[in-house]
Structure 1
Amino acid sequence: MLKNFIKKLIPKQLYEWRINQSLKRYNDMTPEQVFTSIYEENVWGGKAGEFCSGSGTTNPNVGLYVEKLVKFIQQQQIKSVLDIGCGDFRVMKQVTQQTNVQYTGGDLVKSLINFNQKQFANEKTNFQVLNAITDELPKADMLTIRQVFQHLSNEQIISVLQKTKDFKYILVTEHIYSGNDAVANLDKKAGPDIRLYKKSGVFLETTPFDKKASVFLEYAEDMIVFGKQYPALMRTYLIEN
């Protein structure tokens, strides 16, 4: 309560400047260093020593995504899924429990992957260290990329998208600003922040991505930024090859 009250007293420009200053530390880091630091320092939440991918994996609305994805996997008879940026596995764990897919979770944070492999791996589920920006992607029927691109630069996003042609189905989920004054695909450096607080988001159908994609799932999920409620959507795109 006190923290929120103090934020309201701080001018927006000053608060934004402080956020931008805090992000500068990531400028000279590799993607591996950026996201390892985020998890080790619990930037996205969780207790010390715990791996937490933030509210995007704990929000009750995640159930809408899980339900829709489970049905799609069953209807399309999908046998294997590669999940880029698997994070804490809270979301896709629910999907694997309700389907019979061969699941591979990839993430570039080695300590996170080691933990997931020890805790969750079985004959149908495995995890591997994977930098989707630079590494070759393992083969699968479906590729899922949930709230990952929003943390990457446009160039890094393009690098990943160029490797997706061999997947029959690709699902990309992004938290995007939905106001009339939205500016698509503002560029940023890799980091814990997202484009939404700058009235932007990752819109795959527009430049510089220009992907032929349909909306698989979409629901309102507004965001509080600088004490103001910003209209936003959680949108999942479907790309078919």
Structure 2
Amino acid sequence: MRAVLMQRLKQRLKPYTPAWLLKYHHDRTIRKDRALYQGKALREVFSHVYETGGWGVAKDHSGFYSGSSSHDPAIVDTYVEAVTAYLGSLPYRPDVVDLGCGDFNVGSRIRPACARYVACDVVEAVIQSNRTRFFSSLDVDFRCLDITSEPWPRGDVVFLRQVLDHLDNARIAGVLASLTPYKSLILTEYLPLAPDFPPNLDKPIGPGLRIWGAIPSGIVLTEPPFELKALSTRILCEVQDNVGVIRTIAYELPRQT
């Protein structure tokens, strides 16, 4: 309870906190993650993040909150408009697999643009909450899934919205190996503003982001060590703040022969 109250206080103070202090706080968080989560399973790690309000606390006290980037209208509205337009431009109504769907505040607004929608998260309690809140009104197949070790549902388009940055590089490489059956990947990541930032620096699993590391970094799948091969790459939208840019990219993936 104390951790949740602290997160509520941090949420209120965040808009007034200077960037250097935010960076100092997040850098400490990454170091703490390394000690706290070392050797633990992904499900255990992110269950703890939600239980302690690691990404903040829901205003409606539902108990699950996937962070400000899933609720800030400036971020969410831009993303929903761009992704909905992209899906509408496809020559088919896509079956979508949303990996790391979180509290589903964003996915619930994308749902009408899709045919079948499978929304997955590693935390069972989050999935159960989503089933209660959204299933009857949105017809979504909610599944508890560890995307690093369990088979993925079938579909046309995969969403990975600010998910990979919470994983270490070895797990990210494993995730990319599972992309081959899909036609498109829509990836969203938070990247440093500096154009020459070093991409894909490794970090431990946990709620922290690479942009807050001692050397600011971010996930760029087409750069080493991942070097994703895509038929085409298209930036769908960007939302910038005083630290970085949240960028959403659509990758057309080569079909497996």
TM-score calculated relative to the size of structure 2: 0.81
Q: Which residue of 2 aligns with 1:206?
A: 223
Distance in 2 between the 1:21 and 1:85 partners?
Answer: 23
Residue in 1 that maps onto 2:66: 53
Residue 81 (structure 1) aligns with: 96
Q: Distance in 2 between matches of 1:126 and 1:27?
A: 32
Which of the numbers 7, 21, 25 marks the counterpart of 2:36?
25
Q: Of Structure 1 and Structure 2, which has the larger fraction of its residues in strand?
A: 1
Aligned match of 1:38 in 37, 45, 49? 49
Which residue in the other structure is 2:248 paired with?
236
Amino acid at match of 1:215: R
Please give the secondary structure, in 2, of the residue aligned with 1:115: helix
Contact 2:30 2:209 (8 Å CA) reproduced: no
Report the Cα distance in structure 2 between the residues aligned to 1:70 and 1:14, rounded to whole angstroms: 36
Which residue is equivalent to 2:3? none
1:105 is matched with 119
2:129 alignment partner in structure 1: 115
Counterparts of 1:114 and 1:141, CA distance in 2? 25
Whether contact under 8 Å (1:82, 1:103) holds in the other structure is yes
Distance in 1 (alpha carbons) for counterparts of 2:217 and 2:105? 26
Mark the runs of 5 or more structure 2 residues left unpaired by the alignment.
1-9
Q: State how far apart, in whole Å, the 1-side matches of 2:102 and 2:82 are.
A: 20
Question: Are the counterparts in 2 of residues 215 and 235 from structure 1 also a CA contact under 8 Å?
Answer: no
Q: 2:7 matched to which residue of 1?
A: none
Change (3 A) 1:12 1:130: closer
- Map 1:191-230 onto structure 2 (within 5 A): 191-198=206-213, 199-213=216-230, 214-222=233-241, 229-230=242-243
Cα–Cα, structure 1 residues 11 and 202, in superposed 2: closer, same or farther, change >3 Å? closer
User: 5+ unaligned residues in a row in structure 1: which ranges?
Assistant: 223-228
Q: Which amino acid in the other structure matches residue 84 of structure 1?
A: L
Q: TM-score with structure 1 length normalisation?
A: 0.86
Equivalences, count = 231
- Give, in whole Å, the separation in 1 of the partners of 2:140 and 2:223: 34
Q: Which has the higher contact order (CA 8 A, sep 6+)?
A: 2
Distance 2:99 2:23 in 1: 35
Q: Once superposed, what is the RMSD of the aligned Cα atoms? A: 2.6
Distance 2:175 2:106 in 1: 21
Deviation at 1:100, TM superposition (A): 4.5
CA distance in 1, matches of 2:142, 2:176: 21
Alignment of 1:133-152 (within 5 A): 133-152=148-167
CA distance in 2: counterparts of 1:84 and 1:142, whole angstroms: 11
Give the CA deviation at 1:40: 1.0
AA partner of residue 37 (structure 1): H
- Which whole-Å CA distance do the structure 1 matches of 2:21 and 2:190 have between them? 25
User: Aligned residues: percent identity?
Assistant: 29
